[in-house]
Amino acid sequence: MYASAVVWRRWRAGHHSWFDHRLDEADWPQRIFWVERGALGRFHLPMGARILDLCCGDGYFAESFWSPGASLVDAVDRDQNAISLAQAIHSKGNIRYYCRDIVRRDWPGTGYDLVCFFEAIEHLSEQDGQRVLERIRDALAPSGWLVGSTTAVDEAYRGQGNYEHDNEFDGVEALAAFVGQVFVEPRVFASYHPARTTLYFEVQKS
């Protein structure tokens, strides 16, 4: 109860979307969908991999899921509050945090074995989303993997829910078509929970 109260106070103070997984964690085990992101990323993570974590938020996944198997994690977010918190509470020797706009600023490097892009594509316009997917393709090493997710939004409610969302998807077909404009034959699937439906995508650079 105490931990949950602390999380709620921290979130209400800033109401940052990159902090939402903390609220889900506080509701364990009623809300477990946030763990799926870490599991999917780890599934595609070879030991010693170079990883790019886009829209990393407070660095929770970079430290807890990516860094234990990686040689390097470049974690990027445009929100300085998120990066400052990540550096304060999720710092590791093999994680480098960057405050950058992933659409317009240079990325830290190239040749990544894995790019993680979870719960972020919906925050970009269609044009910017395509641009970022192209940049991911160029940043991946040969045979590298892109994995990511977004919340499914029913067609009737698209654009009427989260004011931070610029490009929402109502199902696997819509998301597959969008990612498929840049990557060949992405695998897209859904995970169903009482509180939400999450769409996941994974694709290997050919």
Residue range 125-174, pLDDT digits in tens: 999 999 999 999 999 999 999 999 999 986 444 444 556 676 899 999 99
Q: Note the pTM of the prediction, 2 decimals.
A: 0.85
Number of domains in the chain: 1
Tokens (6 digits) for 32: 């477990």
- Residue 8 counted as domain residue: no
Task: Please report which confidence band the pLDDT of residue 89 belongs to, taking 50, 70 and 90 as the band edges.
Answer: confident
Per-residue pLDDT averaged across 166-189, rounded?
Answer: 94
- Residue 6 counted as domain residue: no
CATH of the domain at 137: 3.40.50.150
C-alpha distance across the termini of the chain, in Å: 48
- Residue 122 counted as domain residue: yes
- Residue 11 counted as domain residue: no
Residue pair 119/37 in contact by the 8 Å Cβ criterion: yes
Q: How far is CA 27 from CA 32, 36, 37, 159, in A?
A: 8, 15, 17, 27
**Which residues fall within 8 angstroms of residue 61, CB to CB, at 6 or more apart?**
21, 37, 38, 41, 53, 116, 118
Mean pLDDT of the chain: 86
Pick the residue with more confidence: 83 or 166? 83
- Residue 141 counted as domain residue: yes
Q: What is the pLDDT of residue 206?
A: 79
- Residue 26 counted as domain residue: no
In the chain, which ranges are continuous DSSP H helix? 2-14, 20-26, 33-43, 60-61, 80-89, 126-139, 172-179
Per-residue pLDDT averaged across 53-78, rounded?
Answer: 95
Residue pair 51/144 in contact by the 8 Å Cβ criterion: no
Sign of CA dihedral 78, 82, 84, 89: negative
Residue pair 99/93 in contact by the 8 Å Cβ criterion: no
Domain span at residue 97 reads: 31-204
- Residue 20 counted as domain residue: no
Residue pair 189/172 in contact by the 8 Å Cβ criterion: yes
